[in-house]
Structure 1
Amino acid sequence: MMDRFLRRFETLLDPFEDQGEDREDARLNRTGHLAPLPSEINRFIWHFARQAKWPLGALLITGGLTGGIEAALYTGVGWLIDAMERSSPATFLAENFWLVAILAFLTLIGRALVLFASSVLEEQVISPSFYNRIRWQSYRRLMEQTYTFFQNDFAGRLSQKVQQVGQATGDFITTILQTFWSFVTFIILTVSILGAIDWRMAMVLGLWTLGYLWIIRNLLPKIRENGRAAAEARSVVSGRVVDSFTNILSVKLFDSSRREDAFVKDGFSYLVEAVRRMTRALTGVRTAVAVLNGLMMTGVGAVAILGWQAGSVTTGGVAIALGLVLRLNQMSGWMMFNINGLVRNYGTIQDAVATVTAQPALIDRADAQPLTATRGGIRYENVTFHYGKGGGIIEDLSLTIRAGEKVGLVGRSGAGKTTLVNLLLRLYDLEGGRILIDGQDIAAVTQASLRGAVGVVTQDTSLLHRSIRDNIAYGRPGADDGDILSAAERASAEEFIPGLRDPKGRSGYDAHVGERGIKLSGGQRQRIAIARVLLKDAPILVLDEATSALDSEVEAAIQDNLSAMMQGKTVIAIAHRLSTLAAMDRLIVLDEGRIVEQGTHAALVAGGGLYASLWARQSGGFLYAGDATRTEPVPQEADRAAV
């Protein structure tokens, strides 16, 4: 019964609403880019507070009522004492019925109703949905960042920022509207009530309020600074720990001297020191509040007793004064703790905002249109790109790849092969020149449509920690099981998929592959990646060391399917094992970001240039078995494949 009642409130706020999609901005509507979040912290907080105006406004009301009821109950006790002095036991109830009834209502019903309403607003309406809305919108802005952005940061740190900013912003707003406002309401009523009893009590409370504000103004900023540093330290620790766990195999194989422990320990040490600085500041604040509250209670108590002795304050008035200041003492210590939390949350928001509101360095143009790739012809025109280093990589390169042509990119490591592919996918913006697909400048089309027209299989295949089915279908959302199974068979993945089983008992196509696909071998991951691209069936195909993780037998098994997949498509293939590129229509030889040779395999070998040199090394080079007495060379695996 209660669960059904509370569920009604849980759906009042949509946890996944994003107002950035609803703005009447033609650029946003056409390109699909989300409106950026405000980078100034107060505007950032207000941006989200406006998205939940009515529940936050209701929380403000319940917070004020909570403080008012607290003050009313303590005041009512004093009035009750005075009434008891004026009346006899026999006539007390008859003479003071309404006083007793009102106090009973406030105690039994009014207080409970206000606290229940406040709890429903905070726990059912705001906490789950509003907090998640902040996280969701922050996450989506981060997902619009460039590939370089994620390369330059820890995944764990970025994840921590998304979690922190939702929790800290939500806590900051709800504490202000509920706890802090309740406290302020109680102070205002306390000063008013005690001032009506004896103006000197109001003066003591006025001085106490000034002292409290001085503490907030002068001592809490240090907590805010240290809170921000502690939040950053927690993110650093999270990033280092996640980095260690993600690369656990490398750690197990190479870290016999426990260097990884030292690296993570250094992060924890930074966190401990940041927390210690913050807690030292906290101790100073708590001590100052304790001293201030002691002076306030002593002062109000002295005035109340002196007034009672002089006959200007009743016994009930003394009870009201002492009850209110004792409650104020409790609330002020509790409130200072919450203010400390406010300051820490503010620092956490500051720290996270710098990350989640960063403007993407690479966005679609305001007039960007979807790419129409019907044939798949590619042209690089005077392309220059240096990764911002000022020199090297790609220099004034021009290249035309005809629609349906199969091209291999060849060159030493660092020659610019993968960079050319990344530029085609617009993972980076050019520093000079342009790239066209079917005559359309890729800088003038939407990124989503561009990447939808290109299927990519890379050497370092990374799978999502989801089912085999989900990973293959990632190439074409909405694909049915028949299409998925067909793609798996064509990629020779069907032979191992039925035997897969994860720790939760899921098997076959439902088995989850672990983070980055760690539960699969390199060859298995590669075959899943090939199946994904087969299912995508894009007009342009990029194979960057696509079969490097496969053994010769498996490679031969899927070679026919790869050949069939390439029919009618424009293909760019990269491989260090040159024998896998020998059948390409044309080979492009790169050196230091420039095209130095191009032609068929036979023509380039006959030409005696860089390609011929590279080919000679692979077809004639040997690895020795390591026995100093052995003179017979052992052929490389690459050479065996070439034979």
Structure 2
Amino acid sequence: MLATMNVIPGQGIRFEDLAAVLLLALGLYVLSGLLMWGQAYILNGVVQRSVYRLREEVAAKINRLPLSYFDGQPRGELLSRVTNDIDNIAQTLQQTMSQLLNGLLTIIGVGVMMFVVSPVLGAIAVAAIPVSVILVSIIGKQSQKQFVLNWKYTGELNGRIEEAYSGHALVKVFGRQREVEQAFAESNSSLYSAGFRAQFISGIIMPTMFFVGNLSYVLVAVVGGLRVASGQMSLGGVQAFIQYSRMFTQPITQVASMANLLQSGVASAERVFEVLDAEEEPADVAGRLNPTRGRVEFESIDFSYDPDTELIKDLSLVAEPGHTIAIVGPTGAGKTTLVNLIMRFYELQGGRITLDGVDITSVPRHALRENIGMVLQDTWLFHGTIRDNIAYGRPDASEAEILAAAEATYVDRFVHSLPDGYDTVIDEEGSNISAGEKQLLTIARAFLADPALLILDEATSSVDTRTELLVQRAMSALRKDRTSFVIAHRLSTIRDADTILVMEHGSIVEQGNHQELLAREGAYYRLYRSQFEGAIEQEVA
């Protein structure tokens, strides 16, 4: 025994040799620590860069998606895909990549050593792998369905929360708190059930792998004992192989313990890739749009949101430069759709729209929209100062130009009553200013942009009567020498329009100026009478 240990009796301990062994062990530990640090550094970099690129791709994809995609997606659901699901992918990669890599290298290294010690026992140990794969695939298919439902219900729950929060005032006004709470409870219950089933089913994988690993261990011990008894292997060889078999099954068990993380990450990745695979807007063409006079022509256009429901059919229209075209009609007649088509928010199914004789599909969208100013009924302001919100459409505007636009649209009148004036910070909801003041800011934004073509979609719907008169004067100055499309329900705001279009069911049923249309006593006359004379007749009655 002493001879095998290279110990010479009577000479004592050779500290030089001991020091060499200890230094070698210390060096190996230091090298191991450095390699582990390097592995963590590289893997963290790979994971973070991958998630960074994924977020960039999703953000770029959203900018390329058509407006129709967002019309069909609940806002909270889409936000959940962009935030929660990507965060879950990052967490999954962060927690599993290192163990997966270590496990793969361990399986390869230990597997080679097992076959070196005993090919027969190595074949028995490796035979457990396909059995494990089959069992994991059977269980994994069931749990994967639940993880998909889990993240689907997470998106639905976020959508309900977003709706309830953004419409909190209306919920209170109409006393719908109980219904909102019930809807939340239903979504929360569905999420709980799916999450429980997903975690429970995926949790079966690890004990299953333990069972298969123990069976493999027993077979190795039995066959190894028989080979020792027959003299085909030494007892030390069997002992070494048993240790190798434990090392071989350990990483497989670790991977099984991460099955819930992996499957949750895969479910989130599927939801994110659905966004990345969504159909984009038709590719933009190269080129630029020359300065325009503002002549817009609709040439026999056809459009519908739903192929089975016809909306606009064979509509033709000419808007001359500098003219104001007012569009009126009942709800759902296609008024807003018409101006959305000018902006190319949607693509035509037939016909074409030209701007100064140039087909708008032959120029880049951004070049087209740079020449168009749009003021919507639904105001949109971002978190920033009043000055920044006015300058949104023209970031390079000077301070004097911003102030001039504010004065022309009567924003200046209320700004001085705010604590910080033009440096007042508006929150995302614009809750620190009134609805009318928010709409004045959007009008000032369009005024500053100085577009060649102007679109006003109920731009004064949230202002009081006195302010509306002032804004009408500002809008008259804004519309001067440029083509304007004005969508209005209050007919008093469009009496001075050059041409009034009356739309019904996606078609223009009448057109002319205010006096001409009243004289015809047709659709416009009925709209005008119902708006201005109905209330008087009721009072008289």
**TM-score, normalised relative to structure 1:** 0.75
Instruction: Report what 1:600 is aligned to.
Output: 513
User: Of 108, 112, 120, which residue of structure 2 is paired with 1:192?
Assistant: 112
Instruction: Report what 2:276 is aligned to.
Output: 356
Instruction: Report what 1:114 is aligned to.
Output: 35
Q: How many residues matched?
A: 538
Distance in 1 of aligned mates of 2:92 and 2:146 = 17
Q: C-alpha offsets along residues 546-590 of structure 1, whole Å, 9 cap, x if unaligned?
A: 111110222233333222111111111121111111112222222
Q: C-alpha offsets along residues 284-318 of structure 1, whole Å, 9 cap, x if unaligned?
A: 21220121233344555677788899896576984
Look up the SS of the partner of 2:344 in the other structure: coil
User: Of 395, 414, 422, which residue of structure 2 is paired with 1:496?
Assistant: 414
Distance in 1 of aligned mates of 2:296 and 2:356 = 6
Instruction: Report what 2:360 is aligned to.
Output: 442
Choose 473-482 or 81-90, whichever is displaced more: 81-90
User: Of 496, 509, 513, which residue of structure 1 is paired with 2:426?
Assistant: 513
Q: CA deviation at 1:427?
A: 1.4
Does structure 2 conserve the Cα–Cα contact (< 8 Å) formed by 1:382 and 1:397?
yes
Choose 384-393 or 550-559, whichever is displaced more: 384-393
Matched letter for residue 148 of structure 1: S
User: Of 313, 318, 322, which residue of structure 2 is paired with 1:400?
Assistant: 318
Does structure 2 conserve the Cα–Cα contact (< 8 Å) formed by 1:364 and 1:443?
no
Distance in 2 of aligned mates of 1:245 and 1:133 = 31
Matched letter for residue 487 of structure 1: A
Superposed counterparts of 1:4-403, under 5 Å: 87=7, 90-91=12-13, 100-107=22-29, 109-123=30-44, 125-163=45-83, 166-167=86-87, 178-199=98-119, 201-256=121-176, 258-298=178-218, 313=234, 318=239, 324-328=244-248, 330-360=250-280, 362-365=281-284, 367-403=285-321
Does structure 2 conserve the Cα–Cα contact (< 8 Å) formed by 1:455 and 1:533?
yes
- Structure 1 residue 484 corresponds to structure 2 residue 397: no
Distance 1:86 1:544, change over 3 A: same
Does structure 1 conserve the Cα–Cα contact (< 8 Å) formed by 2:203 and 2:260?
no
Instruction: Report what 1:535 is aligned to.
Output: 448
Instruction: Report what 1:568 is aligned to.
Output: 481
Distance 1:218 1:416, change over 3 A: closer
Percent identity over the alignment is 27
Matched letter for residue 473 of structure 1: A
Instruction: Report what 1:455 is aligned to.
Output: 373
Q: CA RMSD in A?
A: 3.3
Distance 1:500 1:209, change over 3 A: farther
Q: CA deviation at 1:87?
A: 4.5
- Structure 1 residue 583 corresponds to structure 2 residue 496: yes
Does structure 1 conserve the Cα–Cα contact (< 8 Å) formed by 2:295 and 2:321?
yes
Look up the SS of the partner of 2:172 in the other structure: helix
Does structure 2 conserve the Cα–Cα contact (< 8 Å) formed by 1:301 and 1:321?
no
Look up the SS of the partner of 2:509 in the other structure: strand
Matched letter for residue 449 of structure 2: K
Distance in 2 of aligned mates of 1:359 and 1:204 = 50
Q: Which stretches in structure 1 are left out of the alignment for 5+ residues?
A: 1-80, 502-506, 625-630, 635-643
Distance 1:548 1:142, change over 3 A: same
Look up the SS of the partner of 1:474 in the other structure: helix
Does structure 2 conserve the Cα–Cα contact (< 8 Å) formed by 1:134 and 1:165?
no
Does structure 2 conserve the Cα–Cα contact (< 8 Å) formed by 1:380 and 1:398?
yes
User: Of 590, 609, 612, which residue of structure 1 is paired with 2:522?
Assistant: 609
**TM-score, normalised relative to structure 2:** 0.88
Distance in 1 of aligned mates of 2:227 and 2:310 = 87
Look up the SS of the partner of 1:219 in the other structure: helix
Does structure 2 conserve the Cα–Cα contact (< 8 Å) formed by 1:162 and 1:356?
no
